[in-house]
Amino acid sequence: MHFRSYILGLGGFNGFLDPQLYLVAHKVLLVCEGVLRVLGFWANPAHALLEQQIYDGVTQGTIRGADDLDRVSLQVDEQFSIFPTTTPELRNRWAAVSLMYEDPLYDVNYVYGGLLALKYFQLYSANREQFVPRYIASLKNGFDAPPAVLLKQFLNIDLLDGSLLSDDLALLNRRLDQLEASASH
């Protein structure tokens, strides 16, 4: 069960939360879920380390088959849990992360997608009269240039600017502050 479903399922309009707080909580939890997806690649160090170790091992020629993948999985997972040493069945965790070898570096798309979704929300919330026509124009334009160029041209978003992440985090902090303020009234 998702955290949002758990929290909102407890309350809803059945008395756990008043209706206004419920709506604020719902919006904040949706934003938080988006951030968790955005930061998920970094939030799971065991997964990230396993993926990197596999890429490195293949490049160096030390991983040539399933036994090597099992060995690397156990070495990585032992750094994060006591269970790999007592549960050898966990050695094949690498096989459960199929996108790692079917579509290497796939997480990068999710990271940028999440960052941009939060940025779009921020721009929309700040000035929807300006954002909406520019966003629609970008969709109508199609993809005749690299994404970084189109984002800069239509929405003035610079993918290389560190403020993309810091603005998203500031947005989340403001939303959480709003929730806390609503809860204290």
Which of 102, 117, 149 is at the close of a domain? 102
Angstrom distance (rounded) from CA 71 to CA 95 = 13
Q: Are residues 116 and 169 in the same domain?
A: yes
Q: According to the model, what pLDDT value does residue 33 have?
A: 56
Q: According to the model, what pLDDT value does residue 94 have?
A: 86
Q: Are residues 49 and 39 in the same domain?
A: no
Q: Are residues 53 and 136 in the same domain?
A: no
User: At residue 144, what are phi and psi to the nearest 5 degrees?
Assistant: -100, 10
Number of domains making up the chain: 2
Q: Are residues 111 and 176 in the same domain?
A: yes
Domain ranges, residue 126: 3-43+107-183
Which of 85, 102, 119 is at the close of a domain? 102
Angstrom distance (rounded) from CA 109 to CA 73 = 24
Which of 71, 102, 133 is at the close of a domain? 102
For 85-106, b where at least 16 C-beta lie within 10 A, e where not — what string? eeeeebbebbeeeeebeeeeee
Helices (H), 11-106: 19-43, 45-60, 66-77, 83-86, 98-102
Contacts with 145 (C-beta within 8 Å, 6 or more apart), sequence order: 153
Q: Are residues 18 and 79 in the same domain?
A: no
Q: Are residues 83 and 172 in the same domain?
A: no
Q: Are residues 176 and 111 in the same domain?
A: yes
Q: Are residues 8 and 98 in the same domain?
A: no
Q: According to the model, what pLDDT value does residue 153 have?
A: 97
Q: Are residues 115 and 179 in the same domain?
A: yes
Structure tokens at 141: 């334009």
Q: Are residues 119 and 153 in the same domain?
A: yes
Q: According to the model, what pLDDT value does residue 14 have?
A: 44
Q: Which residues of the chain have pLDDT under 70?
A: 1-44, 101, 105-108
Q: Are residues 31 and 65 in the same domain?
A: no
Q: According to the model, what pLDDT value does residue 89 have?
A: 84
Q: Are residues 179 and 114 in the same domain?
A: yes
For 68-84, b where at least 16 C-beta lie within 10 A, e where not — what string? bbbebbbebbeeeeeeb
Q: According to the model, what pLDDT value does residue 75 have?
A: 92
Q: Are 4 and 30 in contact (CB under 8 A)?
A: yes
Angstrom distance (rounded) from CA 86 to CA 26 = 41
Q: Check residue 88 and give left, alpha or beta (phi > 0: left; psi -120 to 50: alpha).
A: alpha
